[in-house]
Chain A
Amino acid sequence: GAVVSQHPSRVICKSGTSVKIECRSLDFQATTMFWYRQFPKQSLMLMATSNEGSKATYEQGVEKDKFLINHASLTLSTLTVTSAHPEDSSFYICSATPGDPATNIEKLFFGSGTQLSVL
């Protein structure tokens, strides 16, 4: 099946630094990618939707200047957590789809997630 690679799987950083997380579709072109975050014992919360070549659409309450999303190619999207603080510590997951996500839900593939810990 289709594979979405997310890297790194775990990252620890100091408060105030920036961290970049990569999400790659290995065997298909991802027209749309989604970024989620999950706090312990809570559900995955959609942060933003990105379409290749255009600006990401952020969910209400998500700071776009803090969580920079770049979807510059059909196989790569990046999430940069800028000036990270301990409250940003969370599990971040990406997903990608080759088609229209509204009609091709079966073709939504997830990365294995990144555990971010900010000290």
Chain B
Amino acid sequence: AQSVTQLGSHVSVSEGALVLLRCNYSSSVPPYLFWYVQYPNQGLQLLLKYTTGATLVKGINGFEAEFKKSETSFHLTKPSAHMSDAAEYFCAVRDFGNEKLTFGTGTRLTIIP
């Protein structure tokens, strides 16, 4: 069964600093990979996804993630953090042809003014 590991349940960065949220998956076959963001009192929103093709994918709000098959990773980055980026971030994977998502435990991102 698929598993997703998000290192660091809490990450704090200063405003303007680099954001790096880590995600590793367990599948030996490259799955579909996703990052979701959840703002307080709101549902999860799709931030970006990797299915096939270019391994560096860009999402909303300046976020991007790079699929690295050799490292089974899909880390999320943003060059310069903004206060509005404070939220909970979830990495998720899905095998090809499977409708089910497997989520990581989430990382709460705090932005320090």
Bound-state CA distance A49–B105 (Å) is 21
Whether A116 sits at the interface, judged by CB under 8 Å, is no
Which of A14-22, A82-90, A104-112 participates in binding chain B?
A104-112
Shortest Cβ gap from A61 to chain B (Å): 12
| Nearest neighbor of B46 in chain A, beta-carbon distance | A106
Q: Which residue of A lies closest to B91 (CB)?
A: A43
When distances are taken between beta carbons in the complex, the residues of chain A under 8 Å from B41 are: 9, 112
- Nearest residue in A to B42 (C-beta to C-beta)? A112
Give the size of the chain B interface in residues (CB under 8 angstroms).
25
A52 to chain B, nearest CB (A): 15
Known pairs A43-B106, A44-B103; A105 contacts B32 (CB<8 A)? yes
Residues in B neighbouring A49, C-beta threshold 8 A: 99-100
A4 lies within 8 A of chain B by Cβ = yes
List chain A residues, Cβ under 8 A from B46.
105-106, 108
> In the complex, A61 Cα to B46 Cα: how many Å?
28
* Cβ–Cβ contact B43 & A105, under 8 A: no
Q: Is the beta-carbon distance between B99 and A41 smaller than 8 angstroms? A: no
Q: What CA separation (Å) do A100 and B46 show in the bound complex? A: 17
| Cβ-neighbour of A43 out of B97, B99, B103 (below 8 A) | B103
Q: Say whether B101 faces chain A, with CB atoms less than 8 Å apart.
A: yes
> In this assembly, does A118 line the interface, its C-beta being within 8 Å of a C-beta of chain B?
no
Report B-chain residues with C-beta under 8 Å of the C-beta of A113.
Answer: 43
Are A111 and B43 interface neighbours, CB within 8 A? yes
Cα separation A109 to B42 with both chains bound (whole Å): 11
Contact surface of A with B, Cβ cutoff 8 Å: 4, 6, 9, 32, 36, 41-46, 49, 93, 95, 100-102, 105-106, 108-113
8 smallest beta-carbon distances between A and B, as pairs? A110-B43, A101-B99, A110-B44, A44-B103, A102-B99, A43-B103, A43-B105, A112-B43
